[in-house]
Structure 1
């Protein structure tokens, strides 16, 4: 066990990409973090760390949820901006528990596993519990949840619903804030006192702040208030909402998040200290200059949360080579690396890795007229402050009307595609603007077998931008496309912008696009 002091200014955000609503626990000397993944599949990613500073993928809780038309992008339905969010992760009596609600099904889900790597067993908790947090209290179990009015419900021993005759009450409520009232529950029992950690906004303008409430009993009155109101120097965007955790040597931390424009919502690690029973983050209006970190495995090499892929082997082979544990997944036959997620629940039979040729193949089985309706779109998060994605697209297997390429997936998306037409291949750039698709470029290319496409994303500011490039394979230099796309966070998708590999058919299904040499750079 190594203790080291780290400058607080050098580590935030501790994960420079989109991992919102973090809940964090410690089991022994290992930390686990669960985050919202919304409409992406596989879903509910859990990360692990040995020092709270560096994180890698541990597992996904589910491959599929309820197979609804919206989750599967069927019948012109989708779950953008919905799906799972605000998970609660707990470890109790040798088992891991993960709960969340889904805003498309209006259900509350509970998954249980004996290992963080799964397999995870699914059940439902009767009721819909917004931003809920579970508390195991001796032989009783409770769930705190809500927006504006934070409620408490005692659950039955099987965690399937409210306990008959069990405790139900309102813990705190906020009636006069019309910007954002209390929500984002994180509920704990520490030294025989009960703590609620919540967010809300300043009442006169949008800015997240972190709040706490404490009571000596579940029946008693909860007292507290604001404990952190700081934008950390970033455009008035407050840092708030997340779990708290202690270290093996008795220090406490909180993992909160901040809206960071087009890249999404990024976790921040901040010290949590105590004056008696009162938690605080700042002292005299200031954060400490440095914090002390307890590192249980100092030489551990963490796998990246984003990355390049030559499609020569899947995540299972890569993880096993590194000595990582792996969870069983129905995606094993595809062999997807852990940093990839599909835009919605995929039809995995249409996706294949040809490891000998080092190619990813995406085939179509239906017609589609828009980028955000295409199934099997494979995505990766963008990273602060700038990230770049490039890929080679082989179009030999495309049918007339097929479009395949590289895009930016968000509400106001854009994509660069090679479209197979009667005249040959055409380079096509589409940008969604004010809710409508606009054709920004169409250029006749010829009949080459493959092309290389690239997107550079600058995501530091609240509104970032993406620039787009392409080239024929024999060419050494990429050609810039005279176009710049704004990158921003919107509530319609409720996630950061992502790089996306896609293929869809507009006239005849059955075509296949092949992707190779995907490169991801942070610069």
Structure 2
């Protein structure tokens, strides 16, 4: 449902040459008049990196335990983005803990990485806190991506980036966030050489090029013959963007702070990618380091070069940048289509790349071919089926999408429940590790009831005797959600009290579809369509 993120909105006048510094508001993205408003993606696109290749822009975003992993995005103008693929098809290639029968790695899994284009390929490297570093490459960022390769099995490292120098030598930069065994310092940033195929680290080439509290978010660039090491660290004012520069990768390095934290907004830029346009302008595509219920949203900031330093945002008197919330679009792309979210059926052979499962799904328990135009979700027992506390956290085959933070959102699904079985539960959920609310059908014996669940408390509604049911969730900019159900698709009845959407384990809220059975491996539902609508 996030695939097209440009929409017709009310006209809003901006000066074509002036950036405004407004509060974080419900306005976002393309304003349809040659301007944009941050965030450009008002939902959970964390740990971003981005590049330009020709006339196209590509970005990656971490996905933690969601599968497929490491989302790949595409844009023509840096403002309107769509998810086009994922780098990791099978999370069990990283760890068995990311499979449907374990589900105990919330806040772990795929962390930040980098995307680069060199030697005729797109290269993505990323790390996990427990399993080390991995890479894949592709000739087309839309896929297919080559089988995942483990670069280094290690724990306590993160935020890696590859870099190919002019002579073809590939380098690898990353943070070791565990204490150094000799001097006991945390967050040492290491630089290595790699083998020519980019698949192995040359360990003896290791050297530490920076150390400070919380230093991570590493990216490495070469601009006009100068090497630039982008990173962030924690200072008194909060987490800020930093940069080192040198004429040689062996140093010496100069260091400068690139931005300030606006403590009132508490939404500082952090992970991201510096991008040069064909016309010589520079921009920074970034996530906000702290998230509200929507997670870590994505913004676009101008970059101004001052004395050889790429200052991010509005340049202050101290030559350090501050957050920019709106301005003129970098590129006016004539073929950009303005569309609205519409009804989506499951008529394709594969799921849209907007969808991600919670953990690696059980492949034999879902299907797009068992019934044409439908998603079939077979039910099986959750891990520890007798544990009713937040049972969805341990129930396999929960299919999710990111929740947008807009003025008004509505998600409606139509579900055939005729083949549900005793012990089965199925429906629509807002999914977070800190707060789970859902509406669905619960079958006990031969009877089915509509049930609302929030923080493990149930409200049982009427008995459902029809074979088809519509379930709906609405939420607003503040993340206040209300559930509804309908037996005819037209007349909707609310069930349960309004709930507050939340984030947890470094993830924003997600809307999801679930089907499980606490008693037996039996029963299924067929999801006819998902309708995801919203207003600016």
Q: Contact 1:453/1:470 (CA < 8 Å) preserved in 2?
A: yes
Is the 1:343–1:376 contact (alpha carbons within 8 Å) kept by the matching residues of 2? yes
The Cα offsets for residues 377-417 of structure 1, whole Å up to 9 and x where unpaired, read as 11111112242211122211011010000001111212112
Tell me if 1:352 matches 2:367: yes
Give me the CA root mean square deviation. 2.5
Task: State the match for 2:449 in structure 1.
Answer: 426
Matched, 1:469 2:496: no
1:123-138 maps to which residues of 2 (within 5 A)?
123-128=149-154, 129-137=157-165, 138=167
Counterpart position of 1:343: 358
Partners of 2:417 and 2:468 within 8 A in 1: yes
Contact 1:55 1:302 (8 Å CA) reproduced: no
After TM superposition, give the deviation of residue 46 of structure 1 in Å.
Answer: 0.8
Partner of 1:326: none
Say whether 1:188 aligns with 2:218: no
Match of 2:207? Answer: 169
Q: Once the 2 structures are TM-superposed, how far is the Cα of residue 187 of structure 1 from its aligned partner? A: 1.2
Q: Deviation at 1:287?
A: 6.4
For the residues of structure 2 that align with 1:447 and 1:131, how far apart are their CA atoms? 52
| Partner residue, 1:504 | 516
CA apart distance, 1:201: 3.4
Contact 1:230 1:238 (C-alpha < 8 Å) held by counterparts: yes
Alpha-carbon separation, structure 2, partners of 1:6 and 1:403: 55
Equivalent residue for 1:364, pick from 349, 365, 379: 379
CA shift for structure 1 position 450: 2.1
Counterparts of 1:122-521 in structure 2 under 5 Å?
122-128=148-154, 129-137=157-165, 138-146=167-175, 147=177, 148-163=187-202, 165-166=204-205, 168-174=206-212, 177=213, 181-203=214-236, 207-231=238-262, 235-258=265-288, 259-281=290-312, 282-284=314-316, 290-291=327-328, 293-295=330-332, 297-301=333-337, 308-311=343-346, 313-314=347-348, 333=349, 335-353=350-368, 358-366=373-381, 369=385, 370-385=391-406, 386-411=408-433, 412-422=435-445, 424-432=447-455, 438-458=456-476, 460-461=477-478, 464-473=479-488, 476-490=490-504, 492=505, 494-521=506-533
- The count of aligned residue pairs is 476
Provide Cα deviations, 1:193-250, integer angstroms capped at 9, x if missing partner.
111212233436xx4322222122111132223211244x973221222111100111
| Deviation by residue 1:19-48 (Cα, 9 ceiling, x = unmatched) | 111111111111101111111111111111
Aligned equivalents of 2:203 and 2:241: distance in 1?
A: 34
Give the Cα separation in 1 of the matches to 2:152 and 2:191. Answer: 14
- Tell me the residue number matched to 1:107: 132
Corresponding residue of 1:66: 92
Judge conservation of contact 2:100–2:397 (CA < 8 Å) in 1: no
SS in 2 for 1:70: helix
Question: What residue is the counterpart of 1:97 in the other structure?
Answer: 123
Unaligned ranges ≥5, structure 1: 315-332, 433-437
Secondary structure, counterpart of 2:351 in structure 1: coil
- The CA distance in 1 between the partners of 2:300 and 2:192, in whole Å, is 30
Asked whether the equivalents of residues 304 and 315 of structure 2 are also in contact (C-alpha less than 8 Å), the reply is no
Given the superposition, is the C-alpha separation of residues 250 and 93 from structure 1 closer, same or farther in structure 2, using an over 3 Å criterion? same
Cα deviation 1:264-311 (Å, max 9, x = unaligned): 11111111121232121222266677346134x42133888x764222
SS in 1 for 2:162: strand
Gaps of at least 5 residues in structure 2 are 1-14, 21-35, 178-186, 386-390
The aligned counterpart of 1:118 is 143
Whether the aligned pair in 2 keeps the contact of 1:101 and 1:109 (CA below 8 Å) is yes
Residue-by-residue CA offset, 1:458-488 (whole Å, 9 max, x unaligned): 3x45xx33222222227x3322223122222
Q: 1:123 to 1:6 in 2, by over 3 A?
A: farther
Q: Could you list the per-position Cα deviations for residues 403-448 of structure 1 after superposition, in whole angstroms to 9, with x for gaps in the alignment?
A: 000001111212112011126111222223xxxxx22312341422
Q: Name the CA distance, whole Å, in 2 between partners of 1:80 and 1:309.
A: 29
Q: Secondary structure at the match of 1:45?
A: strand
Equivalents in 1 of 2:81, 2:202: separation in Å? 37
CA drift at 1:152: 1.1
Q: CA deviation at 1:12?
A: 0.7
- Hey, what's the Cα distance between the residues in 2 that align with 1:307 and 1:79? 34
The answer for the alignment partner of 2:114 in structure 1 is: 88
Q: 1:114-172, CA deviations, whole angstroms, 9 ceiling, x for partnerless residues?
A: 22222222322124441011111123221111143212122222323332643x22111
CA distance in 2, matches of 1:43, 1:239: 23
Counterpart of 2:112 in 1: which secondary structure?
Answer: strand
Shift of 1:56: 1.5
The structure-2 alpha-carbon separation of the partners of 1:220 and 1:449, relative to structure 1 and needing over 3 Å to count, comes to same
In the alignment, the residues of structure 1 paired with residue 359 and residue 475 of structure 2 have an alpha-carbon distance, to the nearest angstrom, of: 23
